[in-house]
Amino acid sequence: MDMNRRGLLIAFEGIDGTGKSSQLQMLATTLEQLGRSVVITREPTDGPYGRKIRSLFTSRAGITPAEELALFMADRREHVREVIEPALRAGRIVLTDRYYLSTAAYQGAAGQDPEAIMAANETFAPVPDLVLLLTLTSSQSVHRIRSLRGEALNDFEQEDTLTRVAAIFAGLDRSYIARVDAAGSLLEVRDRVEARVRLLLAEKLAGGDCPAWE
């Protein structure tokens, strides 16, 4: 396959409260201003499995860790087939709010083996060109969720859970992972995100006649 025409897959990852969704929106705007065709998407998706998962958010009682993992995997299979692969084939830039590193980290924190989850996903899900892994301590993230969003924490967001999730994210080792410090203002973090994406575009477009960024 011609890699220059395949599109690009960029995932935002990190624990809750790191500002992934805001950063994704800002990056999409920047890329669109550069004339790029961007697809914004997220996991859990808005499809049937994603809706089922969202209904579990307030309480995970009544479902086993294995059943929870199976739901996230089914949601991703559908997401890959219906959204991600068609967009990549059309040469678009896909920005996804969460991808399979979240499964490794969150379902890993619930007792599954993170590396086995990574390996299972890598059999069917396109490997991302770049994962922007936004990093924040779990106490900073809980503070943001509580005070900025004014929300109570759901079962995925309890501080001890997030501490375990953050530790698994910290241990994941893949060449496409770029760790981005999420402490600081939205604009400071945006600059860090853009610096990584600029590098990616320069690398992927090397030799092409299309200016990567300016």
Q: Please give the residue ranges that form the binding site for ligand TYD (CB under 6 A).
A: 16, 43-44, 72, 97-98, 102-103, 106-107, 156-157
Q: Least distance in Å: CB of 2 to ligand TYD? A: 30
Q: Least distance in Å: CB of 87 to ligand TYD? A: 18
Question: In this structure, how many other beta carbons lie within 10 angstroms of the beta carbon of residue 45?
Answer: 20
Q: Least distance in Å: CB of 107 to ligand TYD? A: 6
Instruction: Kindly tell me which of 104 and 201 has the beta carbon lying closer to ligand TYD.
Output: 104
Question: In this structure, how many other beta carbons lie within 10 angstroms of the beta carbon of residue 138?
Answer: 21
Instruction: Kindly tell me which of 7 and 108 has the beta carbon lying closer to ligand TYD.
Output: 108
Partnered with residue 134 across adjacent β-strands are 180
Q: Least distance in Å: CB of 114 to ligand TYD? A: 12
Q: Least distance in Å: CB of 72 to ligand TYD? A: 4
Backbone dihedral region of 203: left (phi > 0), alpha (psi from -120 to 50 degrees) or beta? alpha
Instruction: Kindly tell me which of 103 and 138 has the beta carbon lying closer to ligand TYD.
Output: 103
Residues 6+ apart with CB under 8 A from 133: 13, 14, 101, 169, 172, 177, 178, 179, 180
Instruction: Kindly tell me which of 38 and 121 has the beta carbon lying closer to ligand TYD.
Output: 121
Residues 6+ apart with CB under 8 A from 98: 11, 12, 13, 20, 42, 43, 44
Instruction: Kindly tell me which of 97 and 129 has the beta carbon lying closer to ligand TYD.
Output: 97
The H or E element that residue 134 is part of is strand 130-135
What residue number has its CB nearest to ligand TYD? Answer: 106
